[in-house]
Structure 1
Amino acid sequence: MRFEQLTTEQKQKAFYELREVKELFASRGWFPGTSGNLSVRAGDFSPEQFHFAITASGKDKTVHTPEDYLFVDQDGKPSEATSLKPSAETLIHCEIYRLTGAGAIFHIHTVFNSVISEYFWDRKSVPVDGVELIKGLNIWEEEAQIDIPIVSNFASIPAIVPEITDRLQAGIPGILLRKHGIYAWGANAFEAKRHIEAFEFLFEYVYRLELLKR
């Protein structure tokens, strides 16, 4: 779909959903130091051509301004003339959209997701065994066991993308960057929000359980 084909309603809906999620996550302290980024896809999807609204780079996500978001295309380039810069990690969003066909992708930095990614770095995944909140990821098997993948965190974002391509797991709607944060996605903003909340609960659970084992 070409950007010109998106309706005003579709564009406004994407911005509204980003604003709602940004406000909620900011209230939880999930955007320290302007970190994190959020995106919502608009219109029809094809891996070759799509557009999504994403948070602009360097903005204080605890406040609302008219310049909080912009639209970019499947290559992470602005879809229309703008002075705003997309998030530095836009290429990661592009790849996740391309691989999953998701409708929304949210990325946050928390102490728990950063610490747990380093703690389990040697095995390249966070093991979670039988915790109820696994169901929040649409995994309904009784006593399900999952491994949440962890990938390297490089200063050069393009260097991260191939590892994400290789490590994405079918049925696990999220991936951790080492000592960085979680990317979670879903068919829409509501589902992506549910997934990121479930991941954060699971990370804290695993962290605290590991402490009890000592």
Structure 2
Amino acid sequence: MAYQHVTLEQKQKAFADLREVKELFASRGWFPGTSGNLSVRVGNFAPDDFHFAVTASGKDKTVHTPEDYLIVDQNGKPCEATSLRPSAETLIHTEIYRLTRAGAIFHIHSVYNSIVSEWFWDRKAVPVTAVELIKGLNIWDEDAHIDIPIVSNYADIPRIVPEVTASLNPRIPGVLLRNHGIYAWGANAFEAKRHIEAFEFLFEYVYRWELLKGRQS
């Protein structure tokens, strides 16, 4: 089976990658309710002609079923006849894939990333300076400083996409939705996982550092 540039073997590999990451992230409590979404690009990497495997909407990510994932095209439309619906936020994935060379995009919810996104909303970015885990984002400057962008969290997903586009920074493989969660990406599933883990460490660090500063003031 193939749709254009996607073979059955590529589809199965993508689903296996998603299953492995889903199980790990679920064990860390990063998918409360049915929240979060994951995707892995398959086949062609052309910016205007690509496909990716994505988690289906409304699924309990703490369990595995035969209907957890589906393949969609560059517009986020299913490539096969199916009763499954792609995640409601698939349009954000399509935009990130279109504008980057990402091979995987992961989106999770945590208390820390939600709190810091609200705390720093006025500056539209979470500032982090001289924390070792910045290197997990492949930034090796000594005493590096980064600003992790924050964008609006509209109920109407297409309204979010232009803000994501405007916020993309080749140096920072992630973007926060206000009071919602982090999107992180990488060249493949392994790199995207590493970036999610680095971001989550940094968010917790910033949260706790802000608490300490508040006690000293």
TM-score range, shorter chain: over 0.9
Q: Which runs of 4+ in 1 moved over 2 A?
A: 2-5
1:155 partnered with 2:159? no
The letter for the 2-side match of 1:203 is F
Give me the TM-score of the superposition, normalised by structure 1.
0.98
Cα pair 1:40 1:188 within 8 Å, conserved:
yes
Q: How does 1:1-214 map to 2 (within 5 A)?
A: 3-214=3-214
5+ residue gaps, structure 1, are none
CA distance in 1 between counterparts of 2:16 and 2:99 reads 25
Identical aligned residues as a percent: 79
The letter for the 2-side match of 1:82 is T
* 1:66-88 CA-partner distances (Å, limit 9, x unpaired): 00000000000001111100000
Cα pair 1:21 1:193 within 8 Å, conserved:
yes
Cα pair 1:10 1:42 within 8 Å, conserved:
yes
The letter for the 1-side match of 2:198 is A
CA distance in 2 between counterparts of 1:45 and 1:57 reads 24
Number of matched pairs: 213
The letter for the 2-side match of 1:40 is V
CA distance in 1 between counterparts of 2:5 and 2:120 reads 45
CA distance in 1 between counterparts of 2:35 and 2:198 reads 20
The letter for the 2-side match of 1:87 is S
Please state how far the C-alpha of 1:14 moved relative to its aligned partner. Answer: 0.2
Cα pair 2:5 2:44 within 8 Å, conserved:
no
The letter for the 2-side match of 1:189 is A
The letter for the 1-side match of 2:130 is G
CA distance in 2 between counterparts of 1:7 and 1:87 reads 22
Cα pair 1:103 1:188 within 8 Å, conserved:
yes
SS in structure 2 opposite 1:77?
coil
SS in structure 2 opposite 1:38?
strand
* 1:3-25 CA-partner distances (Å, limit 9, x unpaired): 24321111100000000000000
The letter for the 2-side match of 1:48 is D
Please state how far the C-alpha of 1:200 moved relative to its aligned partner. Answer: 0.1
Cα pair 2:107 2:183 within 8 Å, conserved:
yes
CA distance in 2 between counterparts of 1:210 and 1:3 reads 50
* 1:181-209 CA-partner distances (Å, limit 9, x unpaired): 00000000000000000000000000000
Q: CA RMSD in A?
A: 0.8
Cα pair 1:67 1:84 within 8 Å, conserved:
yes
Cα pair 1:3 1:51 within 8 Å, conserved:
no
The letter for the 1-side match of 2:24 is L
CA distance in 1 between counterparts of 2:12 and 2:100 reads 24
